[in-house]
Amino acid sequence: YKAMAMALDAGAGKQASFVLLFRDQTEMRRIDRMRSDFIANASHELRTPLASLRGFIETLQGPARNDEAARDRFLQIMQKQAERMARLIDDLLSLSRLEMKAHIAVTQSVDLANVLNHVVDTLTPLANGLEVTIERQIPAGSVKVMGDRDELIQVFQNLLENACKYGQSGKRVIVRLEEDGNSAGRDVVASIQDFGPGIPSEHLPRLTERFYRVDVETSRAQKGTGLGLAIVKHILTRHRGRLVIRSQVGEGSTFVVRFNAPEGRS
Ligand code: ADP
Report the predicted TM-score, pTM, of the whole model to 2 decimal places.
Answer: 0.86
Q: What is the rounded distance in angstroms from the CA atom of residue 105 to the CA atom of residue 148? A: 10
DSSP string covering 136-200:
EE--SS--EEES-HHHHHHHHHHHHHHHHHHSGGG-EEEEEEEEEEETTEEEEEEEEEE-SS---
Distance from residue 167's CA to the centre of ligand 1 (Å) = 10
Distance from residue 202's CA to the centre of ligand 1 (Å) = 14
Pocket residue to mutate for ligand 1, from 162, 214, 244, most atoms within 8 A of Cβ: 162
**What is residue 20's predicted lDDT score, i.e. its pLDDT?**
55
DSSP string covering 201-223:
GGGGGGTTSTT--S-HHHHHHTT
**What is residue 3's predicted lDDT score, i.e. its pLDDT?**
47
**What is residue 199's predicted lDDT score, i.e. its pLDDT?**
96
Pairing of strands 252-260, 185-194: antiparallel
Phi, psi dihedrals of residue 261, rounded to the nearest 5°:
-125, 80
Sign for the pseudo-dihedral over CA of 89, 91, 97, 100: negative
Of 133, 136, 95, the residue nearest 119 (C-alpha): 136
Q: Is the CB of 247 under 6 A from ligand 1?
A: no
Distance from residue 186's CA to the centre of ligand 1 (Å) = 30
**What is residue 13's predicted lDDT score, i.e. its pLDDT?**
52
Residues in the chain: 266
| CA neighbours closer than 13 Å in the CB half-sphere of residue 15 | 6
- List beta partners, residue 145: 110
Helix (H) or strand (E) holding 85: helix 68-101
Q: Is the CB of 224 under 6 A from ligand 1?
A: yes
Minimum-distance ligand 1 atom for the alpha carbon of 231 = 6
Strand, coil or helix: 260: strand
Phi, psi dihedrals of residue 82, rounded to the nearest 5°:
-65, -40
Q: Is the CB of 259 under 6 A from ligand 1?
A: no
Give the pLDDT of the chain (266 residues) as one tens digit per residue: 444 444 455 555 555 555 555 567 788 888 888 888 899 999 999 999 999 999 999 999 998 888 999 999 999 999 999 999 999 999 999 999 999 988 888 989 999 999 999 999 999 999 999 999 999 999 999 999 999 999 999 999 999 999 999 998 889 999 999 998 877 778 999 999 999 999 999 999 999 999 999 999 899 888 999 999 999 999 999 999 999 999 999 999 999 999 987 554 44
**What is residue 10's predicted lDDT score, i.e. its pLDDT?**
53
Distance from residue 161's CA to the centre of ligand 1 (Å) = 9
Pairing of strands 133-137, 172-182: parallel
Residue 250, Cβ neighbours under 10 Å: how many?
8
Pocket residue to mutate for ligand 1, from 41, 191, 212, 213, most atoms within 8 A of Cβ: 213
Q: Is the CB of 228 under 6 A from ligand 1?
A: yes
Which whole-number Å values give the CA distances from 129 to 72, 94, 124, 138, 236, in the listed order?
25, 27, 9, 23, 29
Distance from residue 142's CA to the centre of ligand 1 (Å) = 30
**What is residue 184's predicted lDDT score, i.e. its pLDDT?**
72
